[in-house]
């Protein structure tokens, strides 16, 4: 259980969080949304005990500032911006595993599930990796531990569709045992991952709503897209989603992870003018749900 009780935080007298109160249950998956400067990152940093704030923040009844080791052992964190660490990938994994009493092999296994070739990058400085590689590694460090709370700031922003699908599978495996706080400035990025939406605006909670938990995190949708005419940009976008061309560039087939359906439809909407037909079918792989 995560509790924020009348939490306020100001920087040089400028309020960033203003009397925020929230209770997040152990099985909750919360989307923390809001525009830039709404206070999402500040709230996360208060949760991680990195900021001193007014009010009370408790994780399982413990103050993350006072009992940081016990609290942070239970919390896995994926930041929005990867830190500019000069240490090698191997060192980062070893360091993270050591301080959290974790198993580095498990972190490596998760990174490989996400499509990272750990053996090839083990000796490379973390800072030299691509954005996607950094994101995958940080996710692997967080998910390769026994944590009961996952705090993720735009976690899938830099992932390719295949890795996103693997990431959703990993989240699905933990969804009943792990509370998740997923921050994003766009709801469509995270909507399908969560069962509750909290929106912040200028440091205040302006929306706190439970949403239908209808999407299976590990589901896949068979998709077919037909175009009325050839469009290079659209073709490139579909290829990025892993779709294959089946009719000279006018018809495409591929698979979309269930939680990504809204994001996929968002992409399609940008090319509505050239869309001739679209179908999405879960083929009964969604636990019988539509």
Partner 1 sequence: MSGFLQAARLDVAESLRTRWFLVYALVFGGIIVVALVAGLTESRVRGFTGLGRLLIIYIQLCMAILPVFILITTVRSVAGDREAGVFEYLLSLPIGLAAWYWGKLAGRFLVVFLPVLAALLAAVAWGLVRGYEVPWAALGINIALLVSLAGCFLGIGILISSLARSADLAQGTAFLVWLVLLMFLDLILIGIMIRNQAAPELVVAISLANPLQVFRTASMALFDPQLTLLGPAAWVILDAFGRAGYVVYGLLYPLVLGGVSATVGFLVFRRGDLP
Residues in contact with partner 1 by the rule CB under 8 A? 45, 48, 50-52, 68-73, 75, 77, 79, 81-87, 91, 95-96, 98-100, 125, 138, 151
Least separation in angstroms between residue 69's CB and partner 1 is 5
Of 104 and 249, which has the nearer Cβ to partner 1? 104
Q: What are the residues whose beta carbons fall under 8 Å from the beta carbon of 157, sequence distance 6 or more?
A: 80, 135, 184, 189
| Run of H or E including 22 | strand 14-24
Residue 288: Cβ-neighbour burial (10 angstroms; 0-12, 13-18, 19+) = exposed
Of 130 and 228, which has the nearer Cβ to partner 1? 130
Least separation in angstroms between residue 230's CB and partner 1 is 44
What are the φ and ψ backbone dihedral angles of 88, each rounded to 5 degrees? -75, 165
What residue ranges in 179-289 does DSSP mark as E strands?
Answer: 179-184, 196-201, 204-210, 220-227, 244-245, 251-257, 275-281
Number of H helices, E strands in the chain: 10, 13
Of 81 and 277, which has the nearer Cβ to partner 1? 81
Of 125 and 249, which has the nearer Cβ to partner 1? 125
Tokens of 126: 């973390």
Of 183 and 219, which has the nearer Cβ to partner 1? 183
What are the φ and ψ backbone dihedral angles of 34, each rounded to 5 degrees? 155, 160
Least separation in angstroms between residue 222's CB and partner 1 is 38
47-50 CB contacts, 8 Å cutoff, 24+ apart: 47/2, 47/4, 47/75, 47/151, 47/181, 48/72, 48/75, 48/77, 48/151
Of 14 and 69, which has the nearer Cβ to partner 1? 69
Least separation in angstroms between residue 2's CB and partner 1 is 15
Of 153 and 282, which has the nearer Cβ to partner 1? 153
Least separation in angstroms between residue 141's CB and partner 1 is 8
Please tell me the distance from the alpha carbon of residue 30 to that of residue 33, in angstroms, as a whole number.
9
Please tell me the distance from the alpha carbon of residue 62 to that of residue 42, in angstroms, as a whole number.
19
Least separation in angstroms between residue 244's CB and partner 1 is 38
Of 78 and 221, which has the nearer Cβ to partner 1? 78
Least separation in angstroms between residue 81's CB and partner 1 is 6
253 and 223 Cβ atoms separated by less than 8 Å: yes
Least separation in angstroms between residue 138's CB and partner 1 is 7
């Amino acid at each position: 259980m995560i509790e924020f009780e009348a939490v306020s935080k100001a920087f040089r007298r400028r309020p960033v969080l203003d009397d925020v109160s929230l209770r997040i249950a152990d099985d909750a998956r919360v989307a923390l949304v809001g525009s830039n400067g709404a206070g999402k990152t500040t709230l996360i940093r208060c949760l991680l005990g990195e900021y001193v704030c007014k009010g009370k923040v408790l994780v399982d009844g413990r103050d993350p500032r006072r009992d940081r080791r016990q609290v942070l052992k239970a919390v896995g964190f994926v930041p929005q911006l990867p830190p500019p660490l000069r240490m090698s990938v191997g060192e980062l994994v070893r360091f993270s595993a050591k301080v959290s009493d974790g198993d580095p092999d498990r972190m490596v296994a998760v990174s490989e599930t996400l499509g990272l070739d750990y053996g090839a990058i083990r000796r490379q400085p973390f800072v030299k990796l691509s954005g996607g590689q950094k994101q995958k590694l940080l996710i692997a460090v967080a998910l390769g531990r026994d944590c009961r709370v996952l705090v993720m700031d735009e976690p899938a922003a830099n992932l390719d569709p295949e890795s996103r699908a693997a990431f959703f599978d990993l989240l699905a495996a933990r969804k009943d045992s792990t509370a998740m706080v997923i921050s994003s400035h766009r709801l469509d990025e995270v909507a399908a991952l969560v069962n509750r939406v909290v929106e912040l605006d200028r440091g205040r909670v302006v929306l706190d709503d439970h949403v239908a938990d209808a999407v299976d995190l590990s589901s896949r949708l068979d998709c077919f897209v037909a175009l009325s005419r050839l469009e290079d940009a659209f073709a490139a976008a579909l290829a990025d989603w892993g779709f294959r061309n089946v009719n000279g560039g006018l018809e495409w087939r591929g698979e979309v992870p269930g939680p990504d359906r809204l994001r996929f439809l968002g992409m399609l909407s940008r090319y509505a003018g050239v869309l001739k037909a679209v179908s999405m079918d879960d083929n009964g792989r969604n636990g019988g749900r539509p």
